[in-house]
């Protein structure tokens, strides 16, 4: 491990911008650092992993991380990077989201280490108790409208027809107050975040200087994009979430496995704790044998293990082999639907299984156009049921063949799959 945390982050391409002095601060002392995570959903998504893993990385260098759940700021809604105002959530919705997010943070941060344990805090604990007049008098006087409207997140929205509500406009004050509160009560000197947070972070640095005469710092990470220009963390079905209920471990594993060759090494640097020498070896492997996708396989393994654990990694890797003829035993309905989401499918009434032969099944579900074609396909060894070769055209299909009591998977040839959903 590089002895210098700042240089390590730079090597990994993680440093987008920073307040001068951060590089010396991280070498000179063990710093309390915070990163905020607004509770706009009941799960974080992989876009949150850049600052979250960086926070975990800084903890490994002996610094003191605070993951700040935005139970208070989510009541307002951050305009940064948004083309229109967010839908405001109720206090009950936000509290439920915060509870879920806190559990996910524990996958990355160490709360048990004695020297520098991580902490999860909730800014609702101080923001929701503020008195409006007192806040405006004591805090608002340190901000000028001129200064605020020159921040990129505000300027962008003001240029749009929808404009910017006063509610969102005040978000900058709330986030700056968070930094001031943590500086005063927790000795926090450094705030980190994505590059879209630069304006909010530097405003907090300035507020601390004005109110306390203190010196605080900010550092921001790049917003990740794909080599093809598309948005990182998005698929055709939407965001890739850390919650297994929102994005299954199989889908999560597949997202990383399908990484473009051009992105594989940068992602290994951003998201994993592999050493520089390990990553250089994988970089060489990509250059020499890109078809083996060794970097992508290691990336998918590391990320799935980190987020979902060893048992789910094993199942995800098993599921990934299914499309290459691997065993289907033990897969759940959700996993089967995930694996075969993009193949042709049909439904079959459960009572129809009585007396049904493989030839009948192939014909009724339109895997073949006729029973004659079905018999020939079986005799030629081209039909698999649940990835098991079928050799007898007269064999009966029964409820005992159902996967998780609901599915049959037919494969014709090497790659032509058909998913049959048996319904009551």
Which residues are part of the catalytic machinery?
Answer: 40, 45, 48, 82, 86, 175, 196, 231, 234-235
User: Would you give the DSSP letter of residue 35?
Assistant: E
40 in the Ramachandran plot: left (φ > 0), alpha (ψ -120 to 50) or beta? alpha
Query: Cα(first)–Cα(last) distance of the chain, in Å?
Result: 58
By CB atoms closer than 10 A (0-12, 13-18, 19+), residue 248 is buried
How would you classify residue 21: left for phi > 0, otherwise alpha for psi between -120 and 50, otherwise beta? Answer: left
Residue with tokens 């990740």: 224
What is the DSSP pairing of strand 64-70 with strand 119-122?
parallel
Q: Where are the alpha helices (H) located in 61-140, listed in sequence order? A: 91-105, 124-127, 132-138
Within its chain, how far is the Cα of 11 from the centroid?
22
DSSP secondary structure of 345-371: EEEEEGGGGTT-BHHHHHHHTTSSSSH
Write the CB contacts of 201 (distance below 8 Å, at least 6 apart in sequence).
Answer: 175, 179, 191, 192, 193, 218, 220
**Can you list the alpha helix ranges (DSSP code H) found in 106-151?**
124-127, 132-138, 145-149
- How far apart are the C-alpha atoms of 266 and 182, rounded to whole Å? 33
The two three-digit tokens of residue 288, written as one number: 């020499």
Pair 67, 37: CB distance under 8 Å = yes
Q: How many CB atoms lie within 10 A of CB 285?
A: 17
Q: What are phi and psi of 239, to 5 degrees?
A: -70, 155
Range 151-157, long-range pairs (CB < 8 A, 24+ positions): 151/199, 151/200, 151/203, 152/196, 152/198, 152/199, 153/78, 153/79, 153/80, 153/81, 153/196, 153/199, 153/200, 154/79, 154/199, 157/79, 157/82, 157/83
């Amino acid at each position: 491990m590089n002895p210098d945390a700042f240089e390590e982050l730079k090597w990994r391409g993680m440093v987008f911008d920073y307040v001068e002095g951060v590089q010396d601060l991280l070498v000179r002392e063990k710093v309390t650092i915070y990163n905020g995570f607004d509770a706009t959903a009941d799960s974080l998504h992989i876009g949150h992993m850049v600052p979250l893993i960086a926070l975990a990385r800084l903890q490994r260098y002996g610094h003191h991380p605070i993951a700040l759940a935005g139970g208070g700021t989510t009541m307002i809604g951050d305009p940064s990077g948004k083309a229109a105002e967010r839908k405001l959530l109720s206090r009950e919705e936000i509290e439920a989201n915060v509870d879920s997010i806190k559990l996910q943070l524990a996958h990355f941060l160490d709360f048990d280490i004695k020297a520098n344990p991580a902490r999860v805090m909730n800014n609702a604990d101080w923001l929701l108790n503020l008195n409006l007049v007192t806040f405006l008098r004591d805090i608002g006087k340190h901000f000028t409208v001129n200064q605020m409207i020159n921040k990129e997140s505000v300027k962008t929205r003001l240029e749009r027809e929808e404009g910017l509500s006063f509610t969102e406009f005040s978000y900058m004050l709330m986030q700056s107050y968070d930094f001031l509160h943590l500086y005063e009560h927790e000795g926090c000197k450094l705030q980190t975040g994505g590059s879209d947070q630069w304006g909010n972070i530097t405003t907090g640095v300035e507020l601390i200087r004005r109110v306390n005469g203190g010196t605080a710092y900010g550092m921001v990470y790049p917003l990740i994009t794909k080599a093809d220009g598309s948005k990182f963390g998005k698929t055709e079905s939407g965001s890739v979430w850390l919650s297994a209920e929102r994005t299954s471990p199989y889908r999560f594993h597949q997202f990383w496995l399908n990484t473009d060759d051009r992105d594989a090494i940068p992602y290994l640097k951003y998201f994993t704790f592999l050493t520089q020498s390990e990553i250089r070896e994988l970089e060489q492997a990509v250059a020499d044998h890109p078809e083996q996708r060794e970097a992508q396989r290691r990336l998918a393994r590391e990320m799935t293990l980190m987020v979902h654990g060893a048992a789910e990694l094993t199942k995800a890797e098993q599921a990934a082999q299914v499309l290459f003829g691997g065993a289907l035993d033990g897969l759940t309905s959700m996993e089967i639907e995930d694996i075969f989401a993009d193949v042709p499918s049909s439904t079959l009434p459960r009572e129809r299984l009585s007396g049904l032969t493989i030839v009948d099944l192939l014909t009724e579900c339109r895997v073949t156009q006729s029973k004659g074609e079905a018999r020939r396909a079986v005799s030629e060894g081209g039909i698999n049921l649940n990835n098991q070769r079928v050799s007898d055209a007269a064999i009966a299909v029964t409820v005992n063949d159902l996967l998780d009591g609901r599915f049959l998977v037919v494969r014709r040839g090497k790659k032509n799959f058909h998913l049959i959903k048996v319904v009551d």
